Chains A and B, each alone.
Chain A
Amino acid sequence: MRLPIITLTLLLLAHAPAHAGKTLDQVRQRAQLTCGVSTGVIGFSAADSQGHWNGMDVDICRAIAAAVLNDAAKVKYVPLNAQQRFTALQSGEIDLLSRNTTWTLTRDASLGLHFTAVTYYDGQGFLVQKKLKISSAKQLKNAEICVQSGTTTEKNLGDWFKAQGIKVKPVVFEKFEASIKAFFSGRCQAYTTDASALAFIRSKEAPNPDDYVVLPELISKEPLGPVVRRGDDEWFAIVKWVIFALIEAEEYGITQANLERMKASPDPAIQRLLGGAEDSGKLLGLERDWAARAVKAVGNYGEIFQRNVGSASPLKLPRGANALWNKGGLLYAPPVR
């Protein structure tokens, strides 16, 4: 009769409430960051044929791994579809969800999650067949619109057209690939998703990009950013501040290339950020040079942007709203001090 007793004890042990602040310890203990990413959105998180992950969301994971573990390669990527992503985070399967996820009230307040910071300001737009000669989304009356399920996109679509008093027919697909395939086979007159993805879809997925146009309207705000579990303030702060540090590094002109030189800069703000004069890492439970490590691993925010979605990438997206606040954009990091 020993087995049941042991089982029961184990169950009770397993049942004991978790302690706050243990994500950092766990990550350190297994010397690996588990990062939830998408199953493939080029520019944000996508695996190449070798199984290497690339993209902005992936670089955020790498930056955090660098800051925490001093090794940007110590990341395990868990590809998640739209439905799986929140439960994977809630259940502790992943430490961090960095998967072009829109920050909304419902998600922030009712799913047991915390959005950390915005890493990309996006908006929802439309891609239509050029031959329809449409110049505005308001002309999409009765149109069939292909959309991928499991995103805020479906809801925005419903809201916006309801507000306009226009009826449209959404055709909802479970998978990105299926929705794309249907649109380009002519099943729908329009395709809708985040504008960042539309540019890529038009240039890379269309049989002939010139047959399609992106409509000017953005029908929603889509602030995308990494998400962590509730109840672990320490980890929440780390993720948030690593992102702020990457933005601040761009503000001060610290790049992957000039990092070592900048460490000798007399500017006190740069000194603080790179762990020269003050130990800002101690407050986060990290080492002194946490921010320097992150920048060394992936570059500053601007470099991450250019490499993955900007001019140095196939997507060629303009900075737009994602420029720094002092350059006409929305990116504004609280000061590291």
Chain B
Amino acid sequence: MPAQRWRNLLVQALIAAGLLALLWWLLDATAANMRERGIRSGFDFLLEPAGFGIGESLLPFDSGDSALWALAAGLANTLRVALPAILISTLLGTLVGLGRLSPNLLLRKLCAAYVEALRNVPLLLQLLAWYFIVTDLLPAASKALQLAPHVFLSKSGLSVPWLGGDGGLIDLPQRGAMNISGGAAMTPEYLALLLGLSLYTAAFVAETVRAGIAAVPRGQSEAALALGLTRLQNFRLVLLPQALRGIIPPLTNQHLSLTKNASLAVAIGYPELVSVANTTLNQTGRAAECITLIMAVYLILSLLTAWLSAWLERRNGRWADHS
């Protein structure tokens, strides 16, 4: 149908032209608005000194460093909380998901209650509550609990010995005049965020795991048990490989939302990417640039994850076929 084809092409060309016109108009209008109002724009601010401090940072950061480095430190902080949270939520979620399939009624109900309670309350609210609990219950820094030699827990967070420091190989936390100094500190903001993200996401992971295992036909288990496999063997050799195929794609999504949800740290004062970008936005007034940067970084993270999970799925598919 050549006529149809030409029509399709024409329609698409019109759509493309319309879209380009709209985009051009939006960009041009914004640029004109900004020019007319005398607003500076551009990404030059990234190389200028940030001027503000970051309370805790994986990367060494000083207020004289560039804004770009501040954002990098923010991104590192995002990953610093997201990666452990992914690990914890996956482990805990798997346990809870298995618990929901347990023959034990109490365990089943307990796990179901956990999922119901955490899934149905906004994460932001949970984070605020965890932060309140952490800062309210722990003793002040001057009266820090000493859990082990050089391990302190207080409102200033959990301080543990770490490599490096001013003099020598190992940096030991010490009681200072005001608080604990030295070593590596996990601040209450970090602890609350880690706890909140892990527990919330675990509820979703549990559902994913339960659904994945429930989707494996019953006959598979029955056959395996009839063949004389133990329950553990049945689970490891029969159920798990089949269930994983249904679990991994939604699980990747959960991990991705966890990383995105880490941006809620802005409410409890943990300096991750969005929080640092927000501060930069304030200091420089470059709203468009800072928001674009946040979105671009997250998009790249998402695309990377999607690519990684597709690769895993392919590999897993091969592996499952072989076994």
Contact = CB atoms under 8 A, between A and B. Distances in A.
Complex: A in contact with B (CB within 8 Å) = yes
Interface in B142-187: 142, 155-156, 176-179, 181, 187
B189 interface: yes
Interface stretch (B36-44, B110-118, B313-321): B36-44
B281 A83 contact: yes
Interface string A133-162: 000000111111000011100110111011
Contacts of A83: 278, 281-282, 287
A132 B283 CA distance: 32
Nearest to B279: A149
Contacts, number: 139
Contacts of A113: 38
Interface stretch (B133-141, B221-229, B239-247): B133-141
Interface string B177-204: 1110100000111000000000000000
B178 A171 contact: no
Contact of B275 (A82, A106, A149, A187): A149
A110 interface: yes
Contacts of A132: 142, 177-178
Contacts of B279: 149-150, 154, 172
B179 A171 contact: no
Contact of A158 (B51, B141, B189): B51
Contact of B136 (A106, A169, A185): A185
A154 B40 CA distance: 22
A140 B64 CA distance: 20
A14 B29 CA distance: 9
Contact of A171 (B40, B63, B189): B189
A171 B187 contact: yes
A154 B269 CA distance: 13
B54 interface: yes
Interface string B39-66: 1100000000011111110000011100
Contacts of A82: 282
Given A182-B135, A187-B135, A169 B55 contact: yes
Given A18-B36, A185-B155, A149 B53 contact: no
B40 A110 contact: yes
A112 B32 CA distance: 12
A15 B25 contact: yes
B252 to A, nearest CB: 30
B294 interface: no
Interface residues of B, number: 51
B178 A143 contact: yes
B55 A159 contact: no
B8 interface: no
A272 to B, nearest CB: 34
A32 interface: no
A229 B142 CA distance: 49
Contacts of B141: 144, 186, 189
Interface in B236-273: 266-269, 271
Contacts of B135: 182, 185-187
A179 B189 CA distance: 12
A contact patch SS: mixed
Contacts of A170: 52-55
Contacts of A17: 32, 36
A112 B155 contact: no
Contacts of B40: 110-111
Contacts of B217: none
Which of A141, A142, A181 has the largest count of B CB atoms less than 10 A from its CB?
A: A142
Contacts of A131: 142
Given A90-B37, A143-B178, 20 more contacts: A17-B36, A18-B36, A107-B285, A110-B39, A112-B39, A132-B178, A141-B178, A142-B179, A154-B279, A158-B52, A159-B63, A162-B64, A169-B55, A169-B56, A172-B271, A179-B269, A181-B132, A189-B141, A230-B38, A231-B38
Interface of B: 25, 28-29, 32-34, 36-40, 50-56, 62-64, 132, 135-136, 140-142, 155-156, 176-179, 181, 187-189, 266-269, 271, 275, 278-279, 281-285, 287
21 contacts: A83-B282, A87-B287, A90-B34, A106-B284, A106-B285, A111-B39, A112-B37, A131-B142, A140-B178, A142-B181, A158-B50, A158-B51, A158-B63, A170-B52, A172-B55, A172-B271, A174-B267, A178-B269, A179-B269, A231-B36, A231-B37
Interface of A: 11, 14-15, 17-18, 82-83, 86-87, 90-91, 106-107, 110-113, 131-132, 139-144, 149-151, 154-155, 157-159, 161-162, 168-175, 178-179, 181-182, 185-187, 189, 229-231
Closest 3 CB pairs of A and B: A158-B63, A112-B37, A112-B38
